[in-house]
Amino acid sequence: MRSKVTTIVIVGSGFAGTILARALNARGQRVVLIERHTHPRFAIGESSTPLASICLERIAIEYDLPDLFALATYDRWNRELPGVGHGLKRGFSFYQHRPNHAFANSHRNEARLLVSASPDNEIADSHWLRSDVDQHLVRQATSEGVEFIDNCEVERAERRGNGWVLQMNRSGRPLQLDADFVVDATGGVPFLPADAKSEFNEFTIRPADSPGGKGVAPPDTGLIFGHFQGVKSFSDVADEASFLNPPYPEERAAVHHLLEEGWMYVLSFDNDLVSAGFVIDRTHSDSHHFLNAPPDEAWQALLSRYPTIERQFAASEPTRKLTSVPRIQRRRVSGAGSGWALLPHTFSFVSPMFSTGIAWSLIGVERLAGALSNDGNRRLWQLNEYDQMLQIEADHITSLVTPAYQFRQDFDAFVAWTQVYFAAASYHEVWQRLSDPPSEDGWRSVGFLGACDPILQRAKMEAADQLKTAYMDRDIKKTTRGLDFENLVGQLITDRNLAGLANPARNRMYPVDLPLLLRHGDMLGLSDEELRVRLPRIRGLS
pLDDT tens-digit series, residues 131-140: 999 999 999 9
Q: Which of 135, 350, 133, 355 is nearest to 266 (CA)?
A: 355
pLDDT tens for each residue of 377-409: 999 999 999 999 999 999 999 999 999 999 999
Alpha-carbon gap, residue 9 to 34, rounded angstroms: 7
Contacts of 142 (CB under 8 A, 6+ apart): 148
Return d(Cα 207, Cα 192) in angstroms, integer. 18
Which letter does DSSP use for residue 58 in this model?
Answer: H
Alpha-carbon span 501 to 508, nearest angstrom? 9
| Tens of pLDDT, residues 365-379 | 999 999 999 888 999
Q: Looking at residues 496-519, what average pLDDT do you find?
A: 92
> What torsion, rounded to 10 degrees, do the Cα atoms 62, 65, 67, 68 define?
-40
Question: Cis peptide before 190, with omega less than 30 degrees from 0?
Answer: no
| Residue among 64, 26, 13, 52 nearest 369 (CA) | 26
Domain 86-126+219-325 annotated CATH 3.40.50.720: no
Q: Which secondary structure element, helix H or strand E, spans residue 256, and what is its range?
A: strand 254-258
Task: Write down the pLDDT at residue 1.
Answer: 34
- Specify whether the CB–CB gap between 258 and 95 falls below 8 A: yes
* CA separation for the pair 503, 168 (Å, rounded): 56
Q: Is 278 helix (H, G, I), strand (E, B) or coil?
A: strand
Run of H or E residues at 74:
helix 74-80
Rounded Cα–Cα distance for residues 105 and 112 (Å): 7
CA pair distance 259, 307, nearest whole angstrom: 12
**Please, what's the b/e burial string for 460-479 (b: 16 or more CB within 10 A of its CB; e: otherwise)?**
bebbbebbeebbeebeeeee
284 φ/ψ angles, rounded to the nearest 5 degrees: -70, 145
430/54 Cα distance (integer angstroms): 10
Q: Which residue from 389, 383, 349 is spatially nearest to 369, judged by alpha carbons? A: 383
CA 300 – CA 203 distance, rounded (Å)? 38
Query: 3-class SS at 466?
Result: helix
- Name the residue type at position 195: D
Other Cβ atoms less than 10 A from the Cβ of 493: the count is 24
Residues 347, 333: Cα–Cα separation, whole Å: 8
CATH 3.30.9.100 domain range(s) in the chain: 86-126+219-325
Selection from 76, 83, 61 nearest residue 135 by Cα: 83
Least confident of 45-59, 499-513, 525-539: 525-539
pLDDT at 469: 85
d(CA 529, CA 518): 10
pLDDT in tens, 247-302: 999 999 999 999 999 999 999 999 999 999 999 999 999 999 999 999 999 999 99
pLDDT at 214 over 80: no
Least Cα distance to 18 among 369, 360, 348 occurs for 369
- 262-268 and 254-258 strand pairing: antiparallel
Between residues 542 and 127, the one the model is more confident about: 127
Q: Residue 482 pLDDT more than 70?
A: no
Instruction: Indicate the DSSP class of residue 232.
Output: P
CB atoms < 10 A from the CB of 211, how many?
15
Q: Could you tell me if residue 502 is left (phi over 0), alpha (psi between -120 and 50 degrees) or otherwise beta?
A: left
State the pLDDT at residue 507: 95
- Looking at the chain, the domain(s) classified CATH 3.50.50.60 span 1-45+129-213+330-402
322 within 8 A of 225, measured Cβ to Cβ:
yes
Query: Cα-atom radius of gyration of the chain, to the nearest Å?
Result: 23
481 or 332, which is more confident?
332
Return the CATH fold of 1-45+129-213+330-402.
FAD/NAD(P)-binding domain (3.50.50)
Q: How far is the C-alpha of 290 from the C-alpha of 296, rounded, in Å?
A: 10
- With a cut of 60, say whether residue 502 has pLDDT above it: yes
Question: Are the C-beta atoms of 29 and 6 separated by less than 8 Å?
Answer: yes
Average pLDDT over residues 353-365: 97
Report residue 152: phi and psi, to 5°: -130, 120
- Mean pLDDT is highest, among 2-6, 187-191, 256-260, 517-521, for 256-260
Distances from the Cα of 210 to the Cα of 213, 228, 329, 402, angstroms: 9, 35, 11, 14
Percent of the chain scoring above 90 in pLDDT = 80
Mean pLDDT of the chain: 91
Q: Report helix, strand or coil for 240.
A: coil
pTM of the model: 0.94
The residues, any chain, with a CB within 8 Å of residue 433's CB and separated by 6 or more, are: 54, 537, 538
Sign of the torsion formed by the C-alpha atoms of 317, 90, 57 and 456: negative
Instruction: State the pLDDT at residue 195.
Output: 42
Distance of CA 376 to the CA centre of its chain: 32
Which pLDDT belongs to residue 479?
41
Query: Over the stretch 411-453, which tens digit does the pLDDT of each residue have?
Result: 999 999 999 999 999 999 999 999 999 888 889 999 999 999 9
The verdict on whether omega for the bond into residue 119 sits within 30 degrees of 0, i.e. cis, is: no
> Are the C-beta atoms of 469 and 462 separated by less than 8 Å?
no
Tell how far CA 459 is from the center of its chain: 22
Question: Residue 338: what residue type?
Answer: S
Residue 155 has pLDDT above 80, yes or no: yes
Sorting pLDDT into bands at 50, 70 and 90, what band is 6?
Answer: confident
